[in-house]
Chain A
Amino acid sequence: AQSVTQLGSHVSVSEGALVLLRCNYSSSVPPYLFWYVQYPNQGLQLLLKYTSAATLVKGINGFEAEFKKSETSFHLTKPSAHMSDAAEYFCAVSVRTSYDKVIFGPGTSLSVIP
């Protein structure tokens, strides 16, 4: 079975500082990994995805994530935080079988301090 953990339910950074949101996964087969962002009272928007190609994945809004198999990690980073980055971020894992069952982590709430 697959699972996802996200270290830190709340993360605060100063505007312009590095954003680092941590994600570790568990999967018995090669996984697909995703980061989603959710703004208040909205659905989830896909930021980026890893599907077994390049291990460093670039997404929208300046975010990127690196797949590290040895560490079973898929941490999300952004060099310089903007106020508009304040949101809830979810890491997710999926395994291709006869269906795509996407399992989400508990989420990390990112606050950006001016």
Chain B
Amino acid sequence: SQTIHQWPATLVQPVGSPLSLECTVEGTSNPNLYWYRQAAGRGLQLLFYSVGIGQISSEVPQNLSASRPQDRQFILSSKKLLLSDSGFYLCAWSPLTAEAFFGQGTRLTVV
């Protein structure tokens, strides 16, 4: 069966520090991969999606970037975090049946 791993679960980072969140999927090949952000009390905002290695599409211009160095690995990064980057970050993958399956999320607090 397929599983998705996302880490770390929680992270506290100072303003101006770099960020790297990693997500990996097991048990499937060539999945579509997504990064979402959920701000406190708000819905899910699609940040990036990827349909293949090195293929990244950005939904919202911001302080973040994403990379897909391997088929089942998706990384969310920032060179310098802002206070507004705080939130709950969710990685997801989608098979060719349309629905998305989510990781457990990373709670990022920028201080």
A→B interface (CB under 8 Å): 32, 34, 36, 41-46, 49, 51, 90, 92, 94, 96, 98-107
Contacts and interface: CB of A to CB of B under 8 A. Distances in A.
A46 B101 contact: yes
A100 B101 contact: no
Contact of B99 (A49, A98, A106): A49
Given A102-B34, A104-B44, A34 B102 contact: no
A98 B94 CA distance: 12
A102 B43 contact: no
Interface stretch (B11-19, B63-71, B77-85, B103-111): B103-111
B102 A104 contact: no
Interface residues of B, number: 25
Interface of A is mostly: strand
Contacts of A32: 98-99
* Of listed B43, B98, B101, B105, residue having the most chain A CB within 10 A: B98
A105 B43 contact: yes
Interface of B: 6, 32, 34, 36, 42-44, 46, 49, 51, 88, 90, 92, 94, 96-105, 107
Given A41-B105, A42-B104, A105-B43, A51 B49 contact: no
16 contacts: A34-B100, A36-B102, A42-B105, A43-B6, A44-B100, A49-B99, A51-B97, A51-B98, A94-B100, A96-B98, A98-B51, A100-B32, A100-B98, A100-B100, A102-B34, A103-B46
Given A90-B43, A107-B43, A102 B102 contact: no
